[in-house]
Amino acid sequence: MSNPPPPSGDNAPSLDTVVHTLSPFDQAAPRFKCLLRSFVFRLSKLPSDEEFATIKCNILERLEADKPGSNQSRRSSSPVLLTSEDYADDFCRIKHRDSYSGLTAAFIQDSGFPPLPSRDANNNYFFPEGKQPAMTLQADFLTGQDTCYLILSFAVLGTLADNASLDLIYKAFGVGLPPGDRPFSCVELNPLNHRLELSLYRPARPSTVNRIPEWKGRRMQRIRPENLSASPVNVIFAISSGSVDDLVYLVNEYLKGKSKLKMDHDICVAAWCWVAITEARVWRLDPRAETCFGISVNCRSKLRPPLPVTFFGNMTLKAFARTTVGTPLPPCCDPARFHRTKSPVEIIAAAALLLREAIDSLNHEYICRRLWALSGATVSAIRNVSRSSNRKTRSNNEGVQFTPLSDFAAEMDFGIPLTAGGGLPIHCRQPAGLQEGVVYLLPRNASDGSNAS
């Protein structure tokens, strides 16, 4: 099938673009405003049912553990998740359902995407205790006679993102077209059940399917590949609320060599990106604020609310500086004090994107170590930015050389040191006398010749 040129304008949908009506938020969907976007990718022909089953196994065979992490702090009962209490225990917990089994691309082309399935839990995924997930991702594999399609649906609470930032946040999980092509194939809401013509959409490499771990329920029981049907039906999964504590436990057990956990580089990258998105929402950037303000030097105190002195705080601030250059000022701003503005969700999205670029070539054991240290620090320090929490965070960064943000301008990165050719990080001693209130980040090409772990 030939692919037509992309529509003109940024993210401009074609006249024939439609969306299916499936809502990943299930029962909670009518109650809360959320953004639902779908992206359709055409895959190469799958010659056998077994090959398609292998794809499903690759999705599901991501993480396994015998027990959850430390005791979970209870989430706020607020239906709209905006506060640090709401997000402090968030990570990535996935529920799996084989809904819409047997649905094919040919059926969709002829009849359009079916409406919501029954509200029965066996046909829909649901969230315990009526929890409303902040973000949800689901993947539908649809098979045709000559090809296979992957429809990825991404939903996020309207209080956290807009359509522009949704593209960037979604891209952080590694799905996109080659450079120069339109980033995504958008499918808009289809209340009239228009036919979904899959030939309208451009193909892309669906690397997301290899980057997202699969957990089952609170006990984190592995979904066994042998229990999956070999027939080429679609697989639906969702990212919902989980726990940073779970991440700390899993990575810690992996590093001790005591866990059956299968954690490769792609999983580490995905986990780090999700932590970046989740942690950036806590304390530092209030999703309710329309804009944040800052200046290039010592701008931590200018952000509202201020960023704590943590690794993720530095990371988010770096994204802030990178994405706000040249942005027009709102009328109420004093140009002498504030000359860069950007919405919080755009900062969060840029943080995930830039972080992914920075760590994609790192050694995955180093990523595991940093995940463990950083998650441990943010769990304890997330609610109270105090001297003691700052000291703890700095102790986790001990052995790494920091340099001021103002020394980097546009060349600064996320504080992850690389050797000249990438690979293992270079560890340097942290200099004494760090100036309070100044953001410290690592040089892109720091070098002392040491590769000590």
Q: According to the model, what pLDDT value does residue 255 have? A: 52
Q: Check whether 110 has a pLDDT greater than 50.
A: no
128-143: average pLDDT: 43
Residue-wise DSSP of 160-182: T--HHHHHHHHHTTT-BPSTTS-
Q: Check whether 74 has a pLDDT greater than 50.
A: no
- 140-144, 177-181, 342-346: least confident range: 177-181
Under DSSP, the state recorded for 328 is P
Greater confidence (402 vs 322) lies with: 322
82 exposure class (CB count in 10 Å sphere: 0-12, 13-18, 19+): middle
Q: According to the model, what pLDDT value does residue 37 have? A: 54
Greater confidence (402 vs 168) lies with: 168
Residue-wise DSSP of 49-75: HHHHHHHHHHHH-S---SS--SPPPPP
- 134-138, 172-176, 230-234, 282-286: least confident range: 230-234
Helices 364-381 + 265-280 axis angle, to 10: 20
Q: According to the model, what pLDDT value does residue 34 have? A: 52
Amino acid at 132: Q
Band of pLDDT at residue 347, cut at 50, 70 and 90: very low
Q: According to the model, what pLDDT value does residue 147 have? A: 47
The rounded percent of the chain whose pLDDT value lies above 90 is 0
Q: According to the model, what pLDDT value does residue 63 have? A: 19
| Dihedral in degrees, nearest 10, Cα atoms 11, 14, 20, 26 | 20
Q: Check whether 163 has a pLDDT greater than 50.
A: yes
Contact (Cβ atoms closer than 8 angstroms) between residue 158 and residue 35: yes
Q: Check whether 15 has a pLDDT greater than 50.
A: no
Max avg pLDDT among 83-92, 105-114, 230-239, 408-417? 105-114
Residue 266, Cβ neighbours under 10 Å: how many?
Answer: 18
Q: Check whether 369 has a pLDDT greater than 50.
A: yes
Q: According to the model, what pLDDT value does residue 252 have? A: 52
Band of pLDDT at residue 76, cut at 50, 70 and 90: very low
Contact (Cβ atoms closer than 8 angstroms) between residue 119 and residue 27: yes
Band of pLDDT at residue 402, cut at 50, 70 and 90: very low
227 exposure class (CB count in 10 Å sphere: 0-12, 13-18, 19+): exposed
Q: Check whether 253 has a pLDDT greater than 50.
A: yes
Band of pLDDT at residue 334, cut at 50, 70 and 90: very low
Q: Is the pTM of this model over 0.75?
A: no
235-239: average pLDDT: 23
Domain ranges of the chain: 26-243, 264-395
